[in-house]
Amino acid sequence: MSVPVRIEEHGALRVLALNDPPTRNALGPLAAERLMGALEDAAADPDVRLVALTGDGGIFCSGAAIRAWEAADDTGETLTDVGTALCDLIERLPVPVVGCLPGHAVGGGAELALACDWRIVDPAAELRFVHTGFGLIPGFGGLARLELLAGRGQALRLLATRAAVGAEEAVRIGLADEAVPAAAQLDWCRARAEAMADADRGAVAALKHALWTGDERSAFLHVWPARRLPDRLGS
């Protein structure tokens, strides 16, 4: 029996992969719980400088496992509360998170990707915003993130038309940073982790916080006591 979240350690890089092939990596209650635990473990490990969030079997995430969430709570409150908590955790994690899309990210899976700091997308992959086809709207904070990344007009278009956004368009409108073949995504993340090796982990955490909240002053004052003086004045 497969575990819903597979974990790999590559030095400073922690890979978290959704691993439920029969559901095409749908996000159910157990997967959400395990993923949150794995993210919290990565945050607590001082050696981790970058987290890669991906999916096994050639797909990122096919969305929320609606029937499983209905069985847990038919009001929808548990689904939106847990999904929002998961995406907020990704957003406020003290290390950057790369959403590595080897294949499609659909519905709630696309919302999960939008919570990441960077997104790299296989050239054949798509982000699919299918919510309105099920009589729903995003419930994990994805509406605000989609508007932030692509603008209000694009957010309305993508959701109202249930558009499938290919890799090229995703990069063009700001939903992805690069198109990277699935086979090369791990190497991309390793290189990014290596590039950040000399950056202070606390400063990077404060930088993430400031970028997401807009509160640069508080973030600066938070890291000030731990500042490191240069070897030479002016350097």
**What is residue 113's three-state secondary structure?**
helix
Stretch (H or E) spanning 105: strand 105-106
DSSP classification of residue 17: E
Sheet containing strand 126-128, edge to edge, reads 105-106, 126-128, 164-166
Q: What are the domain boundaries of the chain?
A: 5-193, 199-235
pLDDT band at 233 (very low <50, low <70, confident <90, very high): low
Residue 94 φ then ψ, to 5° = -75, -5
The fold for domain 5-193 equals: 2-enoyl-CoA Hydratase; Chain A, domain 1 (3.90.226)
Determine how many CB atoms are found less than 10 A away from the CB of residue 183: 9
Structural contact between residues 107 and 64, judged by C-beta atoms closer than 8 angstroms:
yes
Coil, strand or helix at 1: coil
Q: Does residue 110 carry a pLDDT above 60? A: yes
User: Mean per-residue pLDDT for 227-233?
Assistant: 74
Q: What is the pLDDT confidence band of residue 229, given thresholds at 50, 70 and 90?
A: confident
CA separation for the pair 175, 148 (Å, rounded): 10
Q: To which residue do tokens 């997308």 refer?
A: 121
Average pLDDT, the chain: 95
Q: Residues 110-136: what's their mean pLDDT? A: 97
pLDDT of residue 232: 65
| 32 CA to centre of own chain | 13
pLDDT at 46: 95
**pLDDT tops 90 at residue 16:** yes
**For the whole model, what pTM was predicted?**
0.94
